[in-house]
């Protein structure tokens, strides 16, 4: 049986310049989709997949993320006095247990690979997950849980969430050179960060969910800067490929790129339509709007 994955790393140090001015004084990970911040979806997904410890790699201006996952006695007292039990339950339901959350400052924005490396001491010598909150996935079964199950079937190893993207968009993603492919699980032969379409080995992209073996930390330690002059996780993974088993999983669900304004708005619409308390009303409004186009 594969060693259990107990810890997840959430790189949340990015500046969110694409969402200015909304993100001037608020971390982009706190942008809400319907009524939950993006980072809360990521943590809920991790908990659904059995993760027990949550490691945030943060940066300056991100303290509201820490406040979000902390108790707010004043708010709780006020809600209690006013008998707002449902609101109190909502707050309690999303709170990781005391002692299971850690925050590390990345200090310098040197790239995703560097952010993950910052979590090295907290992860230690065990497999771990990485979740990028920008990639929001609407699915029946949490994407990370699907990956855990695939990993169980494979008996361990590294697994990355993957999906086909438009050929002209390969320069936005880590791209997989596929080997043996059963339609869901794809053996990864090689990985390239953000190749031009003409150099891309396929259009199968890495999406922001990873389950990794701890050996990646040693490679990250010495990883040279790559695309965008940043230390890239993809480059360290492509070195790890030489000695470790690696698979991509075509997950079931729809992925929204919430690092992009259009993707973020689409996510809001899709998640709202999926909600029993408002889906009908939103659908009616969309029909009304569409009829005027
Ligand atoms: C990161 C990774 C990239 C991956 C993407 C998924 O890129 O470096 O390999 O395909 O996330 O969203 P970023 O979007 O941070 O530029």
Residue 82 CA to chain centroid, in angstroms? 36
Percent of the chain with pLDDT over 70: 100
Residue in 216, 232, 231 with CA at minimum distance from that of residue 120 = 216
Q: Assess whether the C-beta atom of 53 lies below 6 angstroms from ligand 1.
A: no
Task: Count helices and strands (H / E) in the chain.
Answer: 11, 13
CA distance 212 to 5: 9
Q: Assess whether the C-beta atom of 135 lies below 6 angstroms from ligand 1.
A: yes
pLDDT at 172 over 80: yes
H or E element, residue 90: helix 85-93
**Long-range contacts, 15-18 (Cβ 8 Å, 24+):** 15/109, 18/259, 18/260, 18/261
pLDDT at 243 over 80: yes
Question: Residue range 113-141: average pLDDT?
Answer: 97
pTM of the model: 0.95
Q: Give the nearest ligand 1 atom to 112 CA.
A: 8
- In which residue are the tokens 């990781």 written? 96
CA distance 241 to 172: 21
Question: Residue range 55-74: average pLDDT?
Answer: 93
Question: Residue range 156-176: average pLDDT?
Answer: 96
**Which tens digits make up the pLDDT trace of 188-237?**
999 999 999 999 999 999 999 999 999 999 999 998 898 889 999 999 99
Q: Ligand 1: which of 133, 173, 246, 263 to mutate, most ligand atoms within 8 Å of CB?
A: 173
Which residue lies with its CA nearest to atom 10 of ligand 1? 173
Q: Ligand 1: which of 172, 241, 256, 257 to mutate, most ligand atoms within 8 Å of CB?
A: 172
Q: What is the pLDDT of residue 109?
A: 86
Q: Assess whether the C-beta atom of 207 lies below 6 angstroms from ligand 1.
A: yes
CA distance 6 to 104: 18
Q: What is the pLDDT of residue 14?
A: 85
Q: What is the pLDDT of residue 227?
A: 86
Rounded distance from Cα 24 to ligand 1 centre (Å): 22
For residue 183, give the DSSP letter: S
Residue 48 CA to chain centroid, in angstroms? 14
Residue 22 CA to chain centroid, in angstroms? 21
User: To the nearest whole number, what is the mean pLDDT of the chain?
Assistant: 94
Q: What is the pLDDT of residue 83?
A: 94
Question: Residue range 277-291: average pLDDT?
Answer: 96
Rounded distance from Cα 18 to ligand 1 centre (Å): 15
């Amino acid at each position: 049986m594969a060693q259990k994955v107990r810890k997840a790393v959430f790189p949340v140090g990015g500046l969110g310049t694409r969402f200015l001015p909304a993100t001037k004084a608020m971390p982009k990970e706190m942008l809400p989709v319907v009524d939950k911040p993006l980072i809360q979806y990521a943590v809920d997904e991790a908990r659904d997949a059995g993760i027990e410890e949550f490691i945030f790699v943060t940066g300056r201006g991100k303290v509201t993320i820490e406040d979000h996952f902390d108790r707010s006695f004043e708010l709780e007292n006020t809600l209690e006095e006013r008998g707002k039990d449902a609101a109190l339950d909502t707050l309690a339901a999303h709170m990781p247990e005391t002692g299971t959350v850690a925050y590390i400052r990345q200090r310098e924005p040197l790239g995703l690979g560097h952010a993950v490396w910052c979590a090295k001491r907290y992860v230690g010598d065990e497999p771990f997950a990485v979740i990028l909150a920008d990639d929001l996935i609407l699915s029946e079964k949490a994407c990370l849980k699907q990956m855990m199950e695939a990993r169980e079937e494979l008996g361990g190893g590294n697994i990355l969430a993957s999906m086909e993207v438009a050929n002209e968009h390969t320069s936005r993603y880590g791209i997989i050179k596929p080997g043996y492919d059963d339609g869901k699980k794809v053996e990864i032969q090689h990985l390239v960060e953000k190749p031009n379409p003409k150099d891309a080995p396929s259009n199968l992209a890495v999406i922001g969910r990873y389950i990794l073996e701890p050996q990646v930390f040693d490679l990250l330690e010495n990883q040279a800067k790559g695309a965008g002059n940043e230390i890239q996780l993809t480059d360290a993974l492509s070195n790890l490929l030489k000695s470790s088993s690696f698979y991509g999983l075509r997950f079931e669900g729809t992925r929204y790129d919430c690092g992009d304004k259009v993707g973020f708005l689409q996510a809001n619409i899709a998640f709202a339509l999926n909600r029993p308390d408002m889906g009908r009303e939103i659908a009616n409004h969309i029909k009304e709007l569409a009829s005027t186009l």
